[in-house]
Amino acid sequence: MEILRYIRLPKLLSALVVCLLMGTLCSCEEVIGSAEEFKVKEKTLLVYMIANNNLSSNATSNLSAIRNGYLPDEDKGNIVVYYHVPNQNPLLLNVLKEKSGKALIDTVYRFPSRNSATKESLKSAMNVTATLFPSNEYGLILWSHGTGWLPVGYYENPVGESTSANAPALENGTYTQSGRTNETDPYAHMIKMATDGQSGAPVRSFGSDSGKEMELKDIVAGLPYKLSFIIFDACLMGGVEVAYELKDSTDYLLFSPAEILASGFPYSKIMEHIFATPTDLESVAKEYYNFYNEQPATSRYATISLVKTSELEKVAEVAKEVFSANREKISSLDVSSVQRYYRGSKHWFYDLGDFIEKIATPQQLQSFVEALDDAVLYKATTQNFFDIVMTKYSGLSTYIPNPADKVLAEYYRTLKWNEACEMIKEDDPVESPS
């Protein structure tokens, strides 16, 4: 870290303020910073970096980019970073601009040793942020590995039962005894999807800290107050399942249905748009797309979508009508004809709009497109994403039921999206692995 500044509050003030406002301070936690930080600001952004894994160098680079980019004036807002890298307890950092114009990284809170990939840690970080940086509006960037809505461990161990050599795995629709897929991925070094080099554990739903991860429902449970927006700097989070699960937790979502390169968002370019009045998330999305679209061909890969969550109920309502009237078409659909966002044998992420187009009547499709267009405010994709040719792009991914996958079907039924649209019904037949 290039510049750190430490300003201690009197111990009594530290304990009194946090204990009174939060009631969560333990003896091993410490507040650091100036009393000015308790002044109400217009907007606070929390960047929650789970980088106690193989992404630590990218976290350092992104933090530097934040410091070197646009920083809001004192009254306009706060940039706060929850920063957890290997061999260090988590820190809460305030990236700010002094009156002289000099950019600084101010450590304002030290957390005790803990795993950051838990709902309790996320909630704690958000509560501390709200206490130390009271604001009229809050936004959140979730920064780490990601595998969308999938249950814990499923990405690397598809049946989700065990990682032992005797555990069956689903590869190309067929159960084997390989335990994990163990695919050779030539692009692993470029994306936020590689195996956790710190612990040797596979990356999972969101986050990766010493083999621990958060499922989608953990994220929701870890949000103690509603946010104006959530940005996922993590792979494969741009699914309708993710969006619907979070629709009551935030007004807007910005994410990628496909993977995200390890370099992440161009932080030096996006902060000015985040702290615009009102927040200009469309420009954030355009900065992301333009950044990658201007890269050399070997790195020109990006998908990005901006979703207005209040419109998602209508999307689910129309989708339910489509699914109810076309169940036979779903079961007989050749999924290889649907635009995919996955690579290798990870057959869980397809384009939502293309899927509906394949099974709906023209009238049903028109109604769905209208609803989806109201929800997806901006979308952009490069022509290719590694070996994926992007011929269709609706802005959201979806799972397509596989009757051979009992474990995933049972889990999918518990998601709010499926509860709303009934893509997989309780009485739908599924097959157990042989």
Measured distance CA(212)–CA(226) in Å, rounded? 25
Q: Which pLDDT belongs to residue 170?
A: 36
pLDDT digits (tens, 9 = 90+) for 374-432: 999 999 999 999 999 999 999 999 999 988 888 899 999 999 999 999 999 977 655 44
Tell me the pTM.
Answer: 0.85
Q: Which pLDDT belongs to residue 188?
A: 65
Q: By the 8 A CB rule, do 397 and 388 touch?
A: no
- Whether pLDDT at 329 is above 60: yes
pLDDT band per the 50, 70, 90 thresholds, residue 186: low
Q: Which pLDDT belongs to residue 176?
A: 35
- Whether pLDDT at 119 is above 90: yes
Measured distance CA(266)–CA(233) in Å, rounded? 10
Q: By the 8 A CB rule, do 405 and 170 touch?
A: yes
- Whether pLDDT at 317 is above 70: yes
Over residues 252-265, the mean pLDDT reads: 95
Over residues 80-101, the mean pLDDT reads: 93
Q: How far is CA 58 from the centre of its chain?
A: 16
Measured distance CA(233)–CA(255) in Å, rounded? 7
pLDDT band per the 50, 70, 90 thresholds, residue 185: low
Between strands 388-389 and 303-308, the pairing is unpaired
Lowest pLDDT segment from 170-174, 209-213, 392-396, 430-434: 170-174
Over residues 113-142, the mean pLDDT reads: 96
Q: Which pLDDT belongs to residue 33?
A: 53
Between strands 303-308 and 376-381, the pairing is antiparallel
Residue 330, SS3 per DSSP: helix
Helix residue spans in 69-166 (DSSP H): 119-132
Measured distance CA(155)–CA(181) in Å, rounded? 9
Measured distance CA(316)–CA(334) in Å, rounded? 23
More confident site: 34 or 90 = 90
Q: Which pLDDT belongs to residue 393?
A: 97
- For the CA atoms of 369, 371, 372, 374, the dihedral, rounded to the nearest 10 degrees, stands at 120
Give percent of the chain above pLDDT 90. 65
- Cα angle vertex 307, ends 251, 218, to 5°? 65
Nearest to 158 by CA among 416, 413, 346: 346
Q: By the 8 A CB rule, do 90 and 111 touch?
A: yes
Largest CA distance in the chain: 68
Q: Which pLDDT belongs to residue 346?
A: 80
Lowest pLDDT segment from 33-42, 53-62, 287-296, 302-311: 33-42
Over residues 326-343, the mean pLDDT reads: 94
- To the nearest whole number, what is the mean pLDDT of the chain? 83
- Whether pLDDT at 368 is above 80: yes
Residue 431 to residues 162, 173, 226, 401: CA-CA distances in angstroms?
A: 19, 12, 40, 12
Measured distance CA(427)–CA(410) in Å, rounded? 11
More confident site: 144 or 16 = 144
Lowest pLDDT segment from 112-116, 119-123, 200-204: 200-204
DSSP states of 288-314 as a string? HHHHHHTS-GGG---EEEEEEGGGHHH
Give me Rg for the CA atoms of the chain.
22
Q: Which pLDDT belongs to residue 75?
A: 78
Over residues 316-341, the mean pLDDT reads: 96
Residue 188's CB is within 10 A of a number of other CB atoms, namely 13
Q: Which pLDDT belongs to residue 55?
A: 86
The beta-strand segments (E) located in 144-248 are 169-171, 174-176, 206-209, 212-214, 227-233
Helix residue spans in 306-379 (DSSP H): 312-325, 327-332, 352-359, 362-375
DSSP states of 47-64 as a string? EEEE-SSTTHHHHHHHHH
Number of helices followed by number of strands (H, E) in the chain: 13, 18
pLDDT digits (tens, 9 = 90+) for 228-247: 999 999 999 999 999 999 99
Token digits of residue 259 = 């993977």
Q: Which domains does the chain have, with CATH numbers?
A: 11-147+211-308 (3.40.50.11970)
Measured distance CA(128)–CA(232) in Å, rounded? 21
Residue 120, SS3 per DSSP: helix
- Whether pLDDT at 347 is above 90: no
Q: Which pLDDT belongs to residue 27?
A: 38
Measured distance CA(34)–CA(351) in Å, rounded? 48
Measured distance CA(28)–CA(5) in Å, rounded? 21
More confident site: 182 or 41 = 41
Over residues 46-63, the mean pLDDT reads: 92
- Cα angle vertex 317, ends 313, 319, to 5°? 115
Residue 272, SS3 per DSSP: helix
Calculate helix-pair angle for 312-325, 352-359, nearest 10 degrees.
30
Between strands 138-143 and 103-110, the pairing is unpaired
Which residues have a Cβ under 8 Å from the Cβ of 336 and sit 6 or more positions away?
A: none
pLDDT band per the 50, 70, 90 thresholds, residue 32: low
Q: Which pLDDT belongs to residue 114?
A: 94
Over residues 362-367, the mean pLDDT reads: 98
The β-bridge partners of 139 are 45, 229
Main-chain dihedrals φ then ψ at residue 208, nearest 5 degrees: -160, 110
The β-bridge partners of 93 are 81, 107
